[in-house]
Structure 1
Amino acid sequence: MPSDPLPEWVLTRRREIGDHIRAARTAAKLSQEQLAERVDLDRKTINRIEQGTHSTGVDHLIRIAHALDVPLADLVR
């Protein structure tokens, strides 16, 4: 049985978090590939997270924040 679609506000927040990750990554002068290697994900997954099309878990967000040397709160604010 398919689940209900996510509300638009959830998708909007997911895109905002992706924007924060992209901004932190570019400020760190890292490519998506370099970030992916640091957090043991593939580049496509990093791209999907940044685009807001992938629902990522808190463990991945913690690893991304650590790899970018930014507080987790900065990514999800």
Structure 2
Amino acid sequence: MRDLPDDESWITDRRRAIGARIREERIRQNLTQDQVWQAARIDRRTLQYVEAGQEVKLSTLLRIAWVLELPLAELEG
């Protein structure tokens, strides 16, 4: 087991990486943000927040991963 770092910048970095991965996959599949947020049944702004690396609910990430047919575990990679 490891201790948490003194600051929380690692969380911000990981959220940004997840948002970038979602954006990359969306673009790779030639999907617009509108297509994804509508299919995932989330708010347009929520998808924008996700892609920007903002704090979101796990259920939101699960919905987006489902729509993109991307395993949740691959979001960070």
Structure 2 segments unaligned to the other structure (5+ residues): 1-6
Q: Normalized against structure 2, the TM-score is what?
A: 0.82
Residue matched to 2:67: 67
Q: Which residue of 2 aligns with 1:8?
A: 9
Cα root mean square deviation, aligned: 1.4
1:76: how far off?
2.6
Larger % of helix: which? 1
| Gap regions ≥5 residues in structure 1 | 1-5
Task: Indicate if the aligned counterparts of 1:33 and 1:42 stay in contact, CA closer than 8 A.
Answer: no
Structure 1 stretches of 4+ moved >2 Å: none
The 5-angstrom pairing of residues 13-32 of structure 1 reads 13-32=14-33
Contact 1:14–1:52 under 8 Å retained in 2: yes
Q: How many percent identity over aligned positions?
A: 37
**Deviations 1:51-73 (CA, angstroms, capped at 9, x unpaired):** 112x1122111111110011111
Give the alignment's TM-score, normalised by structure 1: 0.82
Q: Secondary structure at the match of 1:76?
A: coil
